[in-house]
Amino acid sequence: MNKTALVTGGSRGIGFGIAEKLAAEKWDVLVNGVRPEDAVAEPLALLRKLGARVGYARGDLGSAAGRADIIKACNAFTEGRPVNLLVNNAGVAPKVRADLLETTEESFDHVVDTNLKGTFFLTQSIARAMVEQRRRDPGFKAAIITITSVSATVASVNRGEYCIAKAGLAMVSSLFAARLGAEGIAVYEVRPGVIRTDMTAAVTEKYDALIAGGLMVQARWGLPEDVGKAVASLARGDLPYSTGQVILVDGGMTIPRL
């Protein structure tokens, strides 16, 4: 049986860039999203053209019922075996970019329930299955990669709930790395910078100006494929002695400079 990967939020943006790179390396890819399957037929077809076996796991990461739907789809796709690779990518932005002093509890819950709480409990469920499988079969390969953001450490006062969720995810990645190391399961965090996706489309003009003004060392937008290449490298096992580490894909944005 081929190695299988679950990519949450994998039908567009960074998630699709990741799924595309994994599919090109002949991983079986299960894509998670909240839209009906017919609404994501085009990206799924593109992945299948790369020669991969591709499935769709519809489910809202932010709810317990939605996470149960994702797990059910995983079990069907893998015929009861856990996935070899979990890529935690799904996330939402605040519906309104509000000043920190105006952030609402509703917006906070919306972002944190999906980006942090949902990711934690989905990871917990899949990690349990991975551990059980490895204890039965020590040759079973498993890894977890969580996509965070430079917002884990770079403060944006008009979307504080997003920064808080991403900072929390950085610790989630560290915690699972520490817990799963003895089980032979590698855990990594990939931390993108400013990536051109539908999530950043509304602030294109702002970031065009910042990039032109020297925001990054490499003066361009990041692309979903930049993140996908980093994830594919980790999935191949190219950094076997680096569990728990943060891989920055930010064009040098977070290098302290004078």
Name the pairing type of β-strands 143-147 and 246-249.
unpaired
> What's the CA gap between 196 and 64, in Å, rounded?
30
**Angle ∠(118,189,202) on CA atoms, nearest 5:** 70
Tokens standing for 170?
């950085």
Catalytic entry in 56, 162, 188, 241 = 162
Q: Whats the size of the chain, residue-wise? A: 258
**Strand stretches in the chain, DSSP E:** 4-7, 28-33, 54-58, 85-88, 143-147, 186-192, 246-249
Give catalytic status of residue 162 as yes or no.
yes
Chain centroid to CA 179: 20
**246 CB contacts (<8 Å, ≥6 apart)?**
148, 170, 173, 188, 189, 190, 191
Q: Tell me the catalytic residues.
A: 162
